[in-house]
Amino acid sequence: MKHKQQHWRRWLALLPLSLVFLLSGCSELTVLDPKGPVGQSQKDLIVFSLWFMLGIVVVVFALFTFMVIKYRNRPGRDDKDYDPDLHGNTAIEIVWTVIPLIIVIILSVPTVTTLFDLEKPPEGSQDKEPLVIYATSADWKWFFSYPEQGIETVNYLHIPTDRAIEFRLSSADSMAALWIPRLGGQKYNMAGMENTLYLEADEPGVYDGRNSNFNGEGFTEQTFKVHAESENAFKEWVEKTKKEAPKLTQKKYNELLDPGLSKKLTFSNTHLAWVDHGTNQDRDYAIELHRDAYQELLHLDNERKDDKEHE
Amino acid sequence: MKLDEFFVTGEPLIYAGMVSIVLVSSAVIFLLTYFKRWGWLWREWLTTVDHKKIGIMYILSALAMLFRGGMDALMMRVQLAFPDMNFLNAQHYDEIFTTHGTVMIIFMAMPFLIGLMNIIVPLQIGARDFAFPFVNALSFWSFFFGAMLFNISFVIGGSPDAGWTSYTPLAGAAMSPGPGQNFYLMGLQLSGIGTLATGINLMVTILKMRAPGMKMFQMPIFTWSTLVTCFIIVFAFPILTVALALMTIDRIFGAQFFTLTGEGLPMMWANLFWMWGHPEVYIVILPAFGIFSEVIATFARKRLFGYNAMVWSMILIAGLSFLVWVHHFFTMGAGAFVNSVFSVSTMLIAVPTGVKIFNWLATLYKSKIEFTTPMMWALAFIPSFVIGGVTGVMLGMAAADYQFHNSYFLIAHFHYVLIAGTVFACFAGLEYWYPKMFGHKLNERFGKLSFWLFVIGFHVTFFPQYFVGLDGMPRRVFTIIPEWMPLNVISTVGAFGMGLGFAVFCYNIYYSYRNSKREETGDSWNGRTLEWATPTPVPFYNFATVPHVDKYDAFLAMKEKGETTYDEDKLEPIHMPSYTGKPIIMMAILAFASFALVFEWITLAVIGLIGTLIMMVIRSFDYDEGYHVEVEEIKRIERKARRL
Amino acid sequence: MSAHELKSGPLEYRTQEGQMSILGFWIFLAAEIVLFSTLFATYAVLFGRTADAPAPGELFEIETVLIMTFLLLISSFTCGIAVHNMRKGAVKAFITWMVITLLLGLGFLGFEIYEFVHYAHEGATLQSAAYWSAFFTLAGTHGLHVTLGIGWATMILIQVAKRGFTPMTSRKGFIISLYWHFLDVVWIFIFTSVYLIGMVV
């Protein structure tokens, strides 16, 4: 019985090794396979920290395995290496306080510099003005307003590659978070205030984006697709949209704010003309309009959710 | 209010819940009546002020809550592994993860640990009870009724569904109307009273009631962890009290603290919640550290390495725990500077925690490890917790956290620390002190079986979640995309392994009750601290004579000198508090008031509050000074217990 | 009697129970400090967020608040005299001074209720804006503490009248005095950081 347990412990030691193998397969994981400089800097930070963490895990697991195997109470073990009164050793205790402290310092430096970098548009594209997009969350859909282009989309997003996108995040009602894992980390959308998030794509493609902060029944379905395309393709899309898309009226917009899911929509103007939920005076716009609607259930389940796609 | 609004309708699972509640309650009532046990239940348990019995009631309730929270977990896992089955819809899933989180933290982890503290701390310091036994009973009943109030929400009125963090404005009156969220507020408020009272009670007990001669730095490490935990409770729980009260005022009386109207500040809730919530994490992890330290030292048959460093690192962790709350919402947009500060303070916690890990490893160095079940839990804790810890540091790096936040990476991290830390400790502590509580050990064979099932199940469940998180799977979604399916199925398999482990554990309680050898001495494991100096079962007054302590590992020293806690020459009458029904009645009335407030029946709530005040007046005029146990009686009890 | 006191200190500290209760109460007060600090922090964060309701500077009246402050300050002083008499074993003097203390407390409450009603008339209620929610909750929590304190002290006075000073009753008397002084200290903070700053800004 005892022997078998030891066997198990030894397998435990293989855990960090398996981690390395897993990591090699990890390059396909969304966060570790970014398609833009912001995501890339975060990936670099994660991988950098991962090596230290793996080091710590390996050291602790090795020590652990050694102790558990060497000092188990096996039959016939004598008291030669048994020291029940051993209660401390200042030198070694200082060592294992200082080493973690050094690791923390080493990790702090890139963390802090990355934090400050993320507040600015990514460095590679600073020659171009960032494209400003107002991303507004409303239970449970996304409004993307392009003030310079004068267009607005619901539940999908077109962006040019190799140009920084400056998202102005806010929410009409509950708190949400804009997260496009392939492009970079998230930030909260809140009513009555505005957050700025810089992201950039350097490869054309269609990426998943979503609200990652739980905000009620329709949360799971508050997703959108990001179409990253070349500057020219983007311009074409803008022109086409401006020509073909209908106008958004305030009445239609107010209807859209009603809690619920929505299909993809496109308009050739923006709602910013009459309300900006990111400002203090418009913070209760949606609540005042739809207060009673928030208590009605969607009865959302897996069958219901497909409706969103079909609509 | 119509009856069909009062009871939750339309969900087959909930009807099943109602039926089972009715069946179990009638079975309990029938059995109590049939065996004429009502009087016994009232006299021996419901009115008790004995810390050991209160502790056992805490642990039993916590196990029931572990079952409930575990069922919630399994339901979520089934839904995520087979999303096409439509087992749960979005609303039901939201309710389940909300109650899972709340129940596990507030009504499982904390009461379980407080239960162990209740039983063990007075025994470890050579005290005969708590400083305030009456208040201790009050605390228990406040927790118990708070937990019941929270738990009936799923059949009456509807469960809360805004997550255990209940972020506003979602949890506010506008977006979450109805009683659900009120159940959360009142349930937590009610049980919070008890937690704060226990914190004060234990702190005074430890500071004032130690055996003669026992210095602070000679206290057993579990007692130290309890003392530090109590400090955190005293300084963190009032914040929760205020936060819950403000949201209650918002929801029931129309104030504008966390609303979008009236210039309220929804994010203030997140701040207040985590200013309590982060210390809360350490309230449930520090006692776990204490338990592991005791168990490891006992079964390594060696003195704890670096006792002083262990104590100081706990104090440091407790202090730091108040300075890191912003790391729960780095993505709020507080700016690079604020995030940098909280990033660094968060990572700093890794240093004292690392010191503790190395101290445990060093305790194993040159030891003689006995692989009993409690020791297995403690050993499994070390590597598992290290994985949770290092990923915690990664989450602490704010810039990277933008990608981890709200994802399954985070879920995996906190389950790795809370299960490998707190839950393993609950099992280790319960199995370690089980003979002290019930007079017999748990069966080792079933114990090991449940250990392996649970531990392997745990890793199978949560290790894949790190990866599915890195693949962009957010928390709290009720259905998933095909790319995330394989890892989720693995998780679900693991979760059932854990469930099976818990089932075996419960069976083991029954099996051992029937079959285990009864303890003959009080010293079941060749222990080192004073709780093992008492006979088993422990007499209600704990110590016939309180030993003089002048060393760490006091009982070890006593054994060397051949001393016991029964010195016939030194016997004196022992003063003990009388049992009383006031705590349960007072808290039942307060629970009634809370229930009325949940449904916003203000008149009834006021009546309940007046009733509570009347109970307090009655208590104020209560001059029952307890009674004395005479020397002859002590001799009789001790001779029987010690088989002299 | 006095010789005995010199040897073993104040009555309330003579039993271990008494000592533990007093220590426990000090810790409770620490928790109360955290509670009020949280309320103060909430108030500070919500300061100025009055939406459509009147600003505090328009409503606060220095006279009322000064009277309230003096009432409470004097009550703390009379409470101190009461405890001084308790130490001397003078039951009657203790009760008299405590009754004066409680009457001053009642006066304070009366003014506070008048003040709240007045604000409500002017359109500043718990519901009208975040700032006023915070104000009424902070001041109201203090007022509620004073109310409970008055009720609690009355119970203790009845017990002292019935039993005289025993270790138990004098412990209770001492603890209520701690509580009363604590409420006074909290009020000083409310007076300065809520009323004075509210009037200036």
Fold classification of C15-200 (topology level): Four Helix Bundle (Hemerythrin (Met), subunit A) (1.20.120)
- Are residues A175 and B370, on separate chains, in Cβ contact within 8 Å? no
Q: Which chains touch A (3 or more CB pairs under 8 A)?
A: B
The residue segments making up the domain with residue B452 are 284-517
Contact B277, B284 (CB under 8 A): no
> Residue B559 carries which side chain, given as an amino acid letter?
K
Q: Which residues of B fall within a CB distance of 8 Å from C46?
A: 257, 263-265, 268
Contacts of B470 (CB under 8 A, 6+ apart): A26, A29, A30, A31, A32, B407, B409
Rounded to the nearest angstrom, the gap between the alpha carbon of residue C130 and the centroid of all alpha carbons in its chain is 25
A50 near B CB under 8 A? yes
Average pLDDT over residues A177-206: 96
Per-residue pLDDT tens over the stretch B551-604: 999 999 999 999 889 988 889 999 999 999 999 999 999 999 999 999 999 999
Digit-by-digit pLDDT tens for chain C (201 residues) are 233 343 567 888 888 889 999 999 999 999 999 999 999 999 999 999 998 999 999 999 999 999 999 999 999 999 999 999 999 999 999 999 999 999 999 999 999 999 999 999 999 999 999 999 999 999 999 999 999 999 999 999 999 999 999 989 999 999 999 999 999 999 999 999 999 999 887
> Residue C16 carries which side chain, given as an amino acid letter?
Q
Closest CA to B28 of B37, B17, B40, B16: B37
Q: Which residues of B fall within a CB distance of 8 Å from C156?
A: 620
Cross-strand pairs, A209:
A224
* pLDDT number for residue C12: 83
Positions of chain B with pLDDT under 70? 1-5
Closest CA to C170 of C157, C182, C181, C179: C157
Bridge pairing between strands A195-199 and A165-171: antiparallel
Average pLDDT over residues A291-309: 73
d(C-alpha B352, C-alpha B366), whole Å? 23
Evaluated on CA atoms C197, C199, C200, C201, the torsion sign reads positive
- Are residues B256 and C19, on separate chains, in Cβ contact within 8 Å? no
CATH number at residue B488: 1.20.210.10
Contact B377, B428 (CB under 8 A): yes
Rounded to the nearest angstrom, the gap between the alpha carbon of residue B597 and the centroid of all alpha carbons in its chain is 26
> Residue B301 carries which side chain, given as an amino acid letter?
R
Alpha helices in B397-546 (DSSP H): 398-404, 408-417, 424-438, 444-470, 485-515
Contact A210, A223 (CB under 8 A): yes
- Are residues B254 and C46, on separate chains, in Cβ contact within 8 Å? no
> What is the DSSP track for B543-555?
-SSPPP--SSSHH
A80 near B CB under 8 A? no
ipTM here? 0.94
For chain A, the average pLDDT equals: 89
Instruction: Report the gap between the CA of C104 and the closest CA in chain B (Å).
Output: 23
d(C-alpha C149, C-alpha C143), whole Å? 10
Closest CA to A233 of A206, A194, A199: A206
d(C-alpha A150, C-alpha B143), whole Å? 57
Q: Which residues of B fall within a CB distance of 8 Å from A284?
A: 260-261
Using a pLDDT cut of 70, give the percent of chain B over it.
99
Domain definitions of chain A by residue range: 2-74+87-118, 128-310
User: Taking 90 as the threshold, does the pLDDT of residue A309 lie above it?
Assistant: no
Average pLDDT over residues A122-133: 90
Instruction: Report the gap between the CA of B454 and the closest CA in chain C (Å).
Output: 39
Rounded to the nearest angstrom, the gap between the alpha carbon of residue C173 and the centroid of all alpha carbons in its chain is 15
Instruction: Determine whether domain A2-74+87-118 maps to CATH 1.10.287.90.
Output: yes
Element (H, E) at B351: helix B350-364
Within the 29-58 window of chain B, which residues sit less than 8 Å (CB to CB) from chain A? none
- Is residue A4 very low, low, confident or very high in pLDDT (cuts 50, 70, 90)? very low
A10 near B CB under 8 A? no
- Are residues B263 and C130, on separate chains, in Cβ contact within 8 Å? yes
Bridge pairing between strands A195-199 and A176-180: unpaired
Per-residue pLDDT tens over the stretch B89-108: 999 999 999 999 999 999 99
DSSP for residue B581: S
Q: What does the buried/exposed string (b/e) look like for A133-150 if buried means 16 or more CB atoms within 10 Å of the residue's CB?
A: bbbbbbbbbbbbbbeebb
* pLDDT number for residue C5: 40
d(C-alpha B51, C-alpha B122), whole Å? 8
How many domains are contained in chain B?
Answer: 1
* pLDDT number for residue A292: 84
Contact B301, B367 (CB under 8 A): yes
DSSP for residue B155: T
User: Taking 80 as the threshold, does the pLDDT of residue A305 lie above it?
Assistant: no
- Are residues A60 and B383, on separate chains, in Cβ contact within 8 Å? yes
* pLDDT number for residue C6: 38
Pick the CATH number of A128-310 from 3.40.50.140, 2.60.40.420, 3.90.1150.10, 1.10.10.10: 2.60.40.420
Element (H, E) at B477: none
User: Taking 50 as the threshold, does the pLDDT of residue A2 lie above it?
Assistant: no
Order of strands across the sheet with A205-211?
A156-160, A223-229, A205-211, A176-180, A184-189
CB pairs under 8 A between A and B: 296
Instruction: Report the gap between the CA of B238 and the closest CA in chain C (Å).
Output: 5
> What is the DSSP track for A90-117?
HHHHHHHHHHHHHHHHHHHHHHHHHHHH
Give the phi and the psi of residue A157 in degrees, each rounded to 5.
-145, 135
Instruction: Report the gap between the CA of A239 and the closest CA in chain B (Å).
Output: 33
The SS3 of residue A179 is strand
Which residue of A45, A188, A302 is in closest CB contact with B84?
Answer: A302
User: Taking 60 as the threshold, does the pLDDT of residue A306 lie above it?
Assistant: no
Q: Which residues of A fall within a CB distance of 8 Å from B367?
A: 67, 71, 82, 84
Joined tokens for residue A249: 């009226």
Joined tokens for residue A34: 């970014």
Q: Which residues of C fall within a CB distance of 8 Å from B621?
A: 155, 159
Half-sphere exposure for B297 (CA within 13 Å, toward CB):
24
